[in-house]
Chains A and B, each alone.
Chain A
Amino acid sequence: MVTVYEKKPGHEKKAGLSRRELLKRGGAGALLIISGSAVISPEHAWGLETSALKPETMATLIQVARDIYPHDQVPDKYYAIAVKGHDETAAKDPAHKELIEKGIAELDKKAGKGGYRGLGWEEQRVALLTDIEKTPFFQAVRGGLVVSLYNQKELWPIFGYEGESYSKGGYIARGFNDIEWL
């Protein structure tokens, strides 16, 4: 079972660590922290529990997702939601589990000491991804992501997409022809 949750007071036990402890362990500037079976973002108060994939793998997968479709205005949480399906699939399908675990392990290996997440510049990480662009691992991650990331309704306003409009009467009285700069 994988859940993404806002880290409200009642949820702290689930994560097994208090926010204070997390901050202490992670140190200043840490983006994602691994705790037990969870990936936690103390700065932004959310966590993602894994059931089949190693939480370290999930944390790297979240970074890979951001490096594939980098949007600086989109918080990590949405990338976490976008890749959590891989954990669910891995729980049911050992072949998928191996595909992801092995794919991430190889990325870490190529990255050298400190692993993939240890590479400080996006360019460095993207260079590694470009090398594996044709692999089934990369294709599985990118192919799923194009739907699981961009189909999150909560994310649409960030891009200025308004979504469903029928219930609001369409745009006939809401700016279908409001362009003024031409």
Chain B
Amino acid sequence: MAASFDLKNDGVVVIIGSGAGGGTLGNELAQKGIDVVILEAGARHEYEDFINDEWDSFAQLAWKDKRTTSGDWRVAKDFPNLPAWIVKSVGGSTTHWAGASLRFQEHEFKAATTYGKVKGANLLDWPVTLAEMEPYYAKAEAKMGVTGTNNWPRLPGNNNFKVLKAGADKLGYKECHTGNMAINSVERDDRNSCQQTGFCFQGCKWGAKWSTLYTEIPKGEATGHLEVRPNSMVIKINHDASGKVTGVVYADKDGKLQEQKARIVAVAGNSIESPRLLLNSESSKFPHGLANSSGQVGKNYMRHTTGSVYAIFDKPVHMYRGTTMAGIIRDEARHDPSRGFVGGYEMETLSLGLPFMAAFLNPGGWGRSFTTALDHYDHMAGLWIVGEDMPREENRITLHKDEKDEHGMPIADVHFDDHPNDEAMRNHAYKQGQALYAAVGATRTFPTPPYPSTHNLGTNRMSEKAEDGVVNKHGQSHDIKNLFVSDGSQFTTGAAENPTLTIVTLAIRQADYIAAQMSAKTI
């Protein structure tokens, strides 16, 4: 049965956020008998409540609280108050994610060493290696049911995949398949297998896609050591005179401020909210925010070099049928500077329904050039580009100087300028994607600009040395021993792969570390 802990209980681990990082960490700790309170800003919607409708689902799940944007990225112009498409609901963005679960490549943990000095980039090697991560990657894949691992078959390819595969073959790409997906290809873990419904982004109504909402969280609750408190927006982390954190202040479902005491606090609110909270927790002892002696909190915001290519054919495709992202080409994910950029990118199948295609194909576009594309919606195929972008100090989350949310907490501003490496990579990927579809007979292709960020990374980065980053190799803050970061904001660099598998892997590893440190009474 789910636990219920007293606000004054200062023996609990408080986790802020219930997504890939927070939800996983919460269950892993609960399984070890450690008492956990997860505070989640959003409401709890179970998977039968999800909606097969893009705008209605967006209204149900998305983080819509106002943010501001600046910088030269196109999102700032097209969606000035919606820099990210992420979730405010129990399960966090694991309700919305597509399920692509790829391990990082060895060299991507050593970006500074491998890529060398890149002007205008704040590159750093991770304080962990692939070899250290591998046993935990294996645990994450087993937990999530990743296809193509543990003898689980890959998903069957849908129409959109078949077009991608035909193009990949024509271009001579070697590594093209339906991906490593945390979506059941067979019934397992008391959950359905994928029914090819095509609304992965709107929450899987079959529960076939892994989400902390209906895996980690109920499993943790069943131990009696986990309480998930929805509609609880944390606005400040408190500390004592010694600098140790002691609890968090949050607005409850009625907007009333409460303080939950804690032995340990783990921040897992995604890469915009996590630094926002640390910055907003400034005090006379920590005038620049918590865990910020390096000045790196909020900096090095990464969002992956993204873009899409859509193509129209003279015959029907119906790309929206079936698993949205079960299709990948990995050949361009290698590091090969002869292409004119460092790092690499993946190409993954992608589809939007008609309402979102209209909103995202060419934001602001109108007239016949735009509408004739939509006229052939059922003849379209599409792919998404996801590649490594460069960390930059000036790409950062800051607290807005004037605007505050309903709880009086300054809203977040997201500043992002594309690095020349990002632009070179995106242009290369557009060219490859367009050539791929042309090879299958596309009559028209569309190099589609990035959507609001779904991969938000790096704003509390891991570093070997305290002066280079915010947390150590276990996500423990360099400055405060009982304060952890447990989401993608820990990422030192972004790698080319979708981040969720690595976030889950880090959370499993972090749980072992926290349990060991608690036993040793060091925290």
Residues of A bordering B, CB below 8 Å: 67-71, 73, 126, 142, 146-147, 149-151, 156, 159-167, 169-172, 174-179, 181-182
Contacts and interface: CB of A to CB of B under 8 A. Distances in A.
B157 A177 contact: yes
Most buried by A among B163, B366, B367: B366
Interface string B327-369: 0000000000000000000000000011101110000101110
Given A70-B371, A150-B355, A179-B159, A162 B366 contact: no
Interface SS of A by simple majority: loop
A182 B198 contact: no
A112 to B, nearest CB: 22
B315 A181 contact: yes
Contacts of B46: none
A163 B355 CA distance: 10
Given A176-B196, A177-B322, 8 more contacts: A70-B368, A142-B364, A161-B320, A161-B378, A171-B195, A176-B198, A176-B321, A177-B157
B53 interface: yes
Contacts of A179: 159, 162-163, 316-318
B196 A171 contact: yes
A182 B163 contact: yes
A176 B354 contact: no
A175 B197 contact: no
Given A147-B359, A182-B166, A165 B375 contact: no
Contact of A163 (B158, B159, B353, B377): B353
Contacts of A156: 354
B138 interface: no
A174 B198 CA distance: 12
Contacts of B366: 68-69, 142
B196 to A, nearest CB: 4
Given A69-B370, A159-B354, A178-B159, A165 B377 contact: no
Nearest to A73: B375
Contact of B52 (A70, A142, A164): A164
Given A170-B198, A179-B163, A71 B355 contact: no
A163 B53 CA distance: 7
A25 B296 CA distance: 72
A70 to B, nearest CB: 5
A179 B355 CA distance: 23
A176 B353 contact: no
Contact of B371 (A69, A163, A169): A69
Interface SS of B by simple majority: loop
Contacts of B206: 166, 170
Interface string B46-84: 000000110100000000000000000000000000000
Contacts of B52: 163-167
B122 to A, nearest CB: 36
Contact of A182 (B55, B379, B440): B440
Nearest to A67: B367
Interface in B191-221: 194-199, 205-206
B156 interface: yes
Contacts of B43: none
Most buried by A among B205, B320, B354: B354
Interface string B374-389: 1101110000000000
B367 A70 contact: yes
A175 B196 CA distance: 10
Given A69-B370, A166-B205, A171 B378 contact: no
B195 A170 contact: yes
Contacts of A176: 156, 158-159, 196, 198, 321-322
Nearest to A139: B364
Contacts of A68: 366-367
16 contacts: A150-B355, A159-B377, A160-B377, A160-B379, A162-B320, A163-B53, A164-B52, A165-B198, A165-B199, A169-B195, A171-B196, A176-B198, A179-B162, A179-B317, A182-B163, A182-B440
Contact of A171 (B198, B313, B358, B359): B198
A34 to B, nearest CB: 26
Contact of A146 (B205, B318, B359, B375): B359
A67 B368 CA distance: 9
Contacts of A171: 158, 195-198, 321-322
A156 B199 CA distance: 16
A147 B55 contact: yes
Nearest to B166: A182
A123 B370 CA distance: 15
A163 to B, nearest CB: 7
Contacts of A181: 313, 315
Contacts of A163: 52-53, 353
Nearest to B366: A68
Contacts of B374: 71, 150, 159
A160 B316 contact: yes
Given A69-B366, A163-B52, A171-B196, A150 B158 contact: no
Most buried by A among B157, B205, B375: B375
Contacts of A172: 194-196
Contacts of B197: 165-166, 170-171
Nearest to A158: B375
Contacts of B364: 142
B354 A150 contact: yes
A165 B313 CA distance: 24
Interface string B145-178: 0000000000011110011001000000000000
Nearest to B55: A151
Nearest to B377: A159
Contacts of B368: 70
A127 B156 CA distance: 48
Nearest to A178: B159
A161 B322 contact: no
Nearest to A143: B364
- Which A-B residue pairs are the 8 nearest by beta carbons? A160-B378, A170-B195, A170-B197, A176-B322, A150-B358, A164-B52, A161-B354, A176-B196
A159 B194 CA distance: 26
A4 B47 CA distance: 36
A172 B195 CA distance: 5
Nearest to A69: B371
Given A126-B367, A177-B156, A71 B196 contact: no
